[in-house]
Chain A
């Protein structure tokens, strides 16, 4: 069975500091991984994806994510956080056996303080 874990309900970081939001996954077969961001009263917006290739993936708004196969992790990172990055972040995996199915983590609330 496919699953995604986001071990931190909340991450607090000061503006200008680097941020990391953690995600680990469990899949049978190849992992197809995604990060989404949700602002208040809005739907989820796509940030970046890992399908194959380089382990460091770059996405929107200066975010990047590092895929680590041995640790089954796909952590979201940004070198310098902005207050406007404060939002709810979801990691997701697409089922390699049935591309129609997605599995989401429980979400991590990122708070960036000025």
Chain B
């Protein structure tokens, strides 16, 4: 089944403890991106990647890192999480960056930082 898989689905951690949220897609998509969803704000783009080893910042990149060493994987790294990073995170992919290419989303990771 074609899908975007995120792990874990739920994560509770403490301030300052480094964590990684994994994202993997099995559709051979070139483009991948990360979003955070907060009530009343919709989804905001954190980082995106056009292909292997090519990444760039979205609108809210502060406090996050990403890497794209393989085409299928695009992990999101929080080196020193803070409570304001408590949110619902989504990974998404699309075949390419053409204007007509919609995003395919994972099921989300709910992160709580205390």
Binding site for B on A (CB under 8 A): 4, 6, 9, 32, 34, 36, 41-46, 49, 51, 90, 92, 94, 96, 99-107
Contact = CB atoms under 8 A, between A and B. Distances in A.
Given A32-B99, A100-B48, A100-B56, A45 B105 contact: yes
Interface of B: 4, 31, 33, 35, 40-45, 48, 50, 56, 58-59, 90, 92, 97-100, 102-108
Contacts of B43: 44, 90, 92, 102, 104
B106 A51 contact: no
A94 B99 contact: yes
A52 to B, nearest CB: 9
Contacts of B90: 43-44
Nearest to B41: A106
Contacts of A103: 45, 59
A51 B100 contact: yes
Contact of B97 (A9, A43, A99): A99
A105 B42 contact: yes
B42 A100 contact: no
B42 A44 contact: no
Given A43-B4, A44-B90, A101-B45, 18 more contacts: A4-B42, A41-B108, A42-B108, A43-B90, A44-B43, A44-B92, A44-B103, A45-B105, A51-B99, A90-B43, A99-B98, A100-B31, A100-B33, A100-B97, A101-B58, A104-B35, A104-B43, A106-B42
A22 B45 CA distance: 22
